[in-house]
Amino acid sequence: MCLTGTFLVLEHAGRRIVDGGGIVVISSLNGRQPGAGMGAYCASKAGVTMLVEVAALELAPRRVRVNAISPGVVDTPLTEGLALVPGLTDEYIENTPLGRAGQPEEVADMAAFLTSDRAGWITGAAFDVNGGAHLQRYPDVLGKVRAMMAT
C-alpha cells in the first residue's frame, strides 16, 4: 500500500494542480537503508523515491514541484509500539547521530518549506529528516523480536 497509495496521490494531485505548486510525499529512512526482514517495505519506500523523481519530470512543464521526506523514527502513536520490544527504541536512538527521535513538527516544518515559494527551485528530491540515522546502521529489529520471543 505504501507504493500504490503514493502513486494514486501523485496521479490525482498531478492532474488537478495546473499552474505551479508543490507536492510532498512521505517516504522513509528505509527507502535508502535496508532492514533485515523488511524487504517489501524497504522496496516500496525506495519505489516512492523513484515515483517522486518521475512525477517531478512529468509535472515540471506545469511548474509543479514534487519532493519526498524520508523520516526516521518520529515520536508518534505509530512508533509507540517500538517500546514493546526490549531495547529496540534504544538501538534506534544509538544509531541516530543526533541522539533522539524526531518530532512530528520537524517533519511538518520540512513539508511546509518544500511547498513554499522558498523551495521554488527544488524538485525530484528526497530529504532525509532522520537525525542522521541514514549515516549509520539500521537496528536489528528481527534480532530484538526473536530475543523477546525467546524469553
In the numeric block, the cell 541522539 is attached to 99
- Sequence-distant contacts of 49-58: CB under 8 A, at least 24 apart: 49/126, 51/3, 51/6, 51/7, 51/10, 51/25, 52/10, 52/25, 52/27, 52/124, 52/125, 52/126, 53/124, 55/10, 55/14, 55/23, 56/123, 56/124, 57/124, 58/14
Residue 7, amino acid: F
CA 97 from centroid of its chain's CA atoms: 18
Rounded to whole angstroms, how far apart are CA atoms 145 and 96?
20
Specify the pLDDT at position 62: 96
Specify the pLDDT at position 117: 96
| Active-site position among 13, 41, 43, 111 | 41
One of 3.40.50.720, 1.10.10.410, 3.90.660.10, 3.40.50.970 is the CATH number of 2-7+20-150, namely 3.40.50.720
Specify the pLDDT at position 151: 81
pLDDT less than 70: residues of the chain: none
Specify the pLDDT at position 1: 80
Q: What phi-psi label fits residue 74: left (phi over 0), alpha (psi between -120 and 50 degrees) or beta?
A: beta
- The answer to whether residue 41 is catalytic is yes
Rounded to whole angstroms, how far apart are CA atoms 67 and 56?
8
pLDDT (tens digit per residue) in 75-114: 999 899 888 999 999 999 999 999 999 999 999 999 999 9
CB atoms within 10 A of CB 60: 13
Q: Which pTM value belongs to this model?
A: 0.93
Whole-number percent of the chain with pLDDT over 70: 100
